[in-house]
Amino acid sequence: MSTPQTGNGQSMPTLPRARGPLSAALIADLRGETTLVDRTPPEPAPLGSGDEELALWLLYELHHHGFDDAVDGGTEHEWRPDLLALRGDLERRLEQRWRERVAAADLPELPVGAEPADLARAFFALCEADTGAESVARFLQREADEEQLAEVLRQRSIYHVKEQDAAMWTLPRLPDTTKAHLVTIAADEYGNGRPDDLHAQLWARGMRACGLDAAYAAHVDGALPAVLEQNNLMSLLGLHRRLVPAALGHLAAFEVTSAVPSRRVVRGMERLGAPEPMVAYYREHMVADAVHEQLAVRDLVGSYVAEVPGSEPEIAFGAAVCLLAEAATATAVLEHVRRDDETAAGEDVA
């Protein structure tokens, strides 16, 4: 029997392990073992357990590749009204807590109605705001050993197998000028017409060179709750038309904050003697994102504000979500890899 394929010809991932009552009920439904139709879904385990985060990730993934071991790959589940209602409930909870986090962070605002140059300066200043998080890139550059690097790559893979896919959901909802600028940025991400040069393919080659599983969603079982939440936020912003300006702000902030960390990661990988394909992935982002940050802020965001006056606060919200979610993920990942290192050291002593 051939491996089930997604609509784009790629092999489907298998369903991950449940992390609590809600994700367990959803996985059982996707497998056809039980159904949530006409049933009240169970309350998720406390936030941070991974239960709620995984459940929403599963529901979003139905709009991506589906699952090999779901009934019909999950095709019939993608638009099932009860699951859309569940997704909506989880999304409202997700958005509410991040609205509150952004408000509490008191980050710089974007001026409404400013000249394009002033708006760009304000956006760059927002991206330079101190979120209080330690840098994973700096850790890799100076301290990490080979296993810590490998674990960081496993955590990062949840995003890198998709790259800009979530942001591309905004494309049909954009003014034509902004649409053209998004496609300009995305062209590099998607290989400029060369399938082997897609950034997701560059990532897969790097993972294989490091001896790590490069399959789509291969590392979800080990993904930290903060990692799943960060990825869910990108899907949330991309899928909702009312959140288009926030999605653009998120993408622009991501591009602005990518080039310098990528340079640090390259230095750390060179220090550790990492395989060239993985170093090449980050080297590509050193160059590409240094260009993309200007395009994203001055052209993408600038053109949208010109077409949709008053959108600056939502653009700032999306940028703040990007910065704060990255900070939360960085804190979680560094605590995770250092704790594992301390545990291994204790076992060696014993």
Q: What is the pLDDT of residues 279-330, one digit of tens each?
A: 999 998 887 767 788 999 999 999 999 999 999 999 999 999 999 999 999 9
| Distance of alpha carbon 304 from alpha carbon 26, whole angstroms | 38
Whole-prediction pTM: 0.93
Q: Would you place residue 10 in the very low, low, confident or very high pLDDT band (cuts 50, 70, 90)? A: low
Q: Write down the domain spans for the chain.
A: 21-101, 109-349
DSSP string, 31-85: HTSS--TTSPPPPPPPTTSSHHHHHHHHHHHTTTT--TTSGGGGGGGTT-HHHHH
* Higher pLDDT among residues 323 and 259, named by residue: 323
Overall residue count recorded for the chain in this entry: 350
Q: What is the pLDDT of residues 231-248, one digit of tens each?
A: 999 999 999 999 999 999
Is residue 35's pLDDT more than 60?
Answer: yes
State the DSSP H helix or E strand holding residue 192, giving kind and residue range, or none if neither. Answer: none
Q: What is the pLDDT of residues 67-84, one digit of tens each?
A: 999 999 999 999 999 999
What homologous superfamily does CATH list for 109-349? Heme oxygenase-like (1.20.910.10)
Q: List the end-to-end C-alpha distance of the chain, in Å, as a whole number.
A: 48
Q: Quick one: what percent of the chain has pLDDT higher than 70?
A: 93
